[in-house]
Structure 1
């Protein structure tokens, strides 16, 4: 396993035709239970399609490998996986990933990432409005604190603001919105 640092668990479930509503109800339950485990830092669920079936990729983050292992070894998780198994087309697919964040759907090894030009288009659509708006929002502070409005300090503040907004606020929902187009084959 990887060293004790934030660790990401990818869980892929391909759901049998007609079982999507039951799976969604089960997913809400397991997400609520996982949130109560020590070290749980958050979860995102990416919905997609593969081979005509719904594919759910859950991205769980834990503060350490040991805390992730506690969740994986828990009786609660084991019972929930047994319960959902009849709804799954290819079982419970797990992958531990050292990456903390994903902008684009973390693809299984047999699924290619979206083409780079599509990733670039979505990234451009997110960053351009921020690059136009964020500097304007900082202008009042730069007038009050002229030393912060200098070339280097202002660029550091503006760039840091844009990066944080892109990574934590805008890119996750935008990539979910464009998921169909990004993953179109």
Structure 2
């Protein structure tokens, strides 16, 4: 397995792949995805995988798979691998159309707008401003909420739990809500 320390000049890369699962194949796809992720995380150059499932109660059957690599070379090697080719063959009967794949940079992972093409993202300054609007109140709320639970822990552990709390709340609550509320502002009018 490759050392996770990066080669000089190499930067981590995140790739979002969108897949629409055929109706009635959701359980089979979930099982296949679980097995594939378990097997593929041992591939050289992997930094992790995050699965974005369709919202509960919605009619959407679109899955987002965000995979992080230590470099572009590791990304390319993975998508050319036999393991990945076998995965594509296995799920082809369970999915509709071709996958939509996009490289994510920085904040884009939080700003995929519902019902939009994966390639449509807001300008970076708008993403940064919206993120500040989400982070500011969250960074005040989380320490206040956690203090009674972690107040007697060493400062480094307190900082860890506060950071983890902020990330969890931003990822699953604050940013999805903000993106939905600010959708018309985030995208230029001709794209909205």
User: What's the TM-score once normalised by structure 2's chain length?
Assistant: 0.62
Kindly provide the CA deviation profile for residues 14-60 of structure 1, in whole angstroms up to 9, marking residues without a partner as x. 111111111101110111122011121111111126x9331100111
Aligned to 2:190: none
Q: Which of 73, 90, 94 is 1:66 aligned to?
A: 73
Q: 2:31 aligned with 1:25, yes or no?
A: yes
Provide the rounded CA distance (Å) in 2 between the counterparts of 1:100 and 1:7: 13
Conserved 8 A contact 1:119-1:182 = no
Provide the rounded CA distance (Å) in 1 between the counterparts of 2:154 and 2:89: 56
SS of the residue corresponding to residue 49 of structure 2 reads strand
The number of aligned residues is 162
Aligned to 2:52: 46
Structure 1: which 5+ runs fail to align? 143-157
Kindly provide the CA deviation profile for residues 101-147 of structure 1, in whole angstroms up to 9, marking residues without a partner as x. 84x363413698xxx9x9889757744431424677568879xxxxx
CA RMSD of aligned residues (A): 4.1
Conserved 8 A contact 2:40-2:83 = no
Provide the rounded CA distance (Å) in 1 between the counterparts of 2:179 and 2:60: 17
Kindly provide the CA deviation profile for residues 147-171 of structure 1, in whole angstroms up to 9, marking residues without a partner as x. xxxxxxxxxxx9997556423x443
Larger radius of gyration: 1
Structure 2: which 5+ runs fail to align? 1-8, 184-192
User: What's the TM-score once normalised by structure 1's chain length?
Assistant: 0.64
Provide the rounded CA distance (Å) in 1 between the counterparts of 2:151 and 2:76: 44
SS of the residue corresponding to residue 90 of structure 1 reads strand
